[in-house]
Structure 1
Amino acid sequence: MRPAETFYQTLLDNLYDGVYFADKDRNITYWNHGAENITGYAASDVIGHACRDNLLNHCTENGHELCLNDCPLTRSMETGKHQEAEAYLRHADGHRVPVLIRTSPIYNDQGEVVGAVEIFSNNSKLFKARNRIRQLQESAFTDALTGLGNRRLADTKLQAALLDFRQNRQRFGLAMLDIDHFKLVNDAFGHDVGDRILRMTADTIKANLRQTDIPIRWGGEEFLLIIEDAEKFSLMAVAEKIRALVERSHINLLSGQEVNVTISIGATLIRAEDDIQSLLNRADSLMYRSKENGRNLVTCE
């Protein structure tokens, strides 16, 4: 090997990023130390094998296999263009490693494509940063105690639902829920038990709605349900189901005592003249009517 070739191979071998070459048949002809470190596969494990043998089993976050169906190396050789993709390779130990992949065609002196080079880098830090951003975004719309949406999420979803109603006549309903005599629970058993009651109520609500419906912790012991694609009978049915299931739920104290609560609900459908505030006010008024009529009731109109 000539000194210049030795220099460049040493340079490639010592790059932090993984680098490998493949010929037109996708047979791997070079594998650097960076590739060994990221994948756990030594050069002797892969050189002479075809990347289409799916050794690294690159896949997207949705499980789509790139090596068999949408290989960036193949696309580079077919199009003569650089390609870039985010993927998850299978480490020699079996776990998945997020990587950023860049591929480029390799030409001979006659300008013919004779193979391609792939450079890939461990993308874990970027993925962790994205996940952290996603978590922060989610936490901005999530009630910390119950895991339900908060008022900020409610504002966003209500604005979208109202726009959909005005543009497409897609009706939706609201149900305002309040735990009956919640202050008495806090006074009798303490705030820790009160928090458990709130979580129990939230979990019961969340587990028994359709995926399209949106549960919100409105504040204190109040909850809001945004029920999409609703008519009066379906809105009433959802509200009544939640009322009955909460009534039949309880938490167990260390003393062996069971603590349960009931809820009062006001439910209403969007009307042509409504804005968000008028809709909320009507649901709130109906909820208090349920309380005035004895609690543990649904009032719907």
Structure 2
Amino acid sequence: MKAHRRVRFAPRQMAAFEDAEICRDMLENVPVALCVVDLQKRIVFWSSGAERVTGHLRHEVLGHSCIAEPLLHCDQPGCEFCDEHCPVACAMKTSQAVDSSGFLRHKDGHEVPVRIRAVPVYNQHRSIIGALSTFEELQAGISRERGEGNASSPDYEDHVTGVASRAMMQAHLQAKLASLSPGNYSHWVFLVKVQGLAHFRASLGTEAASSLLRLMVRTVESCLWISDVVGRWSDDQFLLLVDGHREEGLEALRARIRRMLAAEGIEWWGERRSLPVLIVATAAESGDTVESIVQRLHKLLPGGSGCVPGDAGCAGGSAGS
């Protein structure tokens, strides 16, 4: 096996990289999301990768404090990153590199699951003057990779939210059910019902309702694996087809999705707008059909009768706006 040669720069070559502006320009243009804060947690550096992942442009965050406007928070209820658990604060306090997981607040309002790595930054006297952190998306491109190659077709994609259509979800469910054997509960199905959507749309308009639905979809997707499927089942309902082979239990996942959706909202004409949701779930069983699962989910809803919106004889429309 041929040995790899280490690349060495001559002193004259290295001198070209000692210019602070050149170094800053190189770091600002790397695709990795980089952020540097000072001891007061004011953002002093923000790379193009950070702009891409967060949606926040450089001029919008430089000089701002991540304490006053927290961009990151952890995935534990009631635990904000901007306290003693903050990886940036830990790196500066302990002089050690810190590796953690959490959620980043995107400019559009949804949360992005990320891996955060923070290291202390020293001056020439070896005194800590701040911290550098990187954040890497854990589920980048979940929506883009879900399809079966034809998901961009209008028949297979909901035109408002970009997730699978009702027809596509039926196909996914039928395929999963066909693979089940007796005693196999490896697939979970969730139903997310958005309450008050019709009134919200009538009061604020179609675009406001569509923006809120898109935000909700992205938030739900951030809770799921790339192999899971989200689809719009009716105007105010979404189905989630979830792989049950995970340490997190069905009820724990349901509670986490509900918690994250409860924290979401859109800014519309200067006010924060949101809607409550109902979430029910069931495990798919051998012998189930698409109809039996959907009826079971609707019976789990408060006052549920098993009547399925979009089906003949049941009030309610199909996905439309």
Give the TM-score taking structure 1 as reference length.
0.47
Query: Higher helix share goes to which structure?
Result: 1
The structure number with the bigger radius of gyration is 1
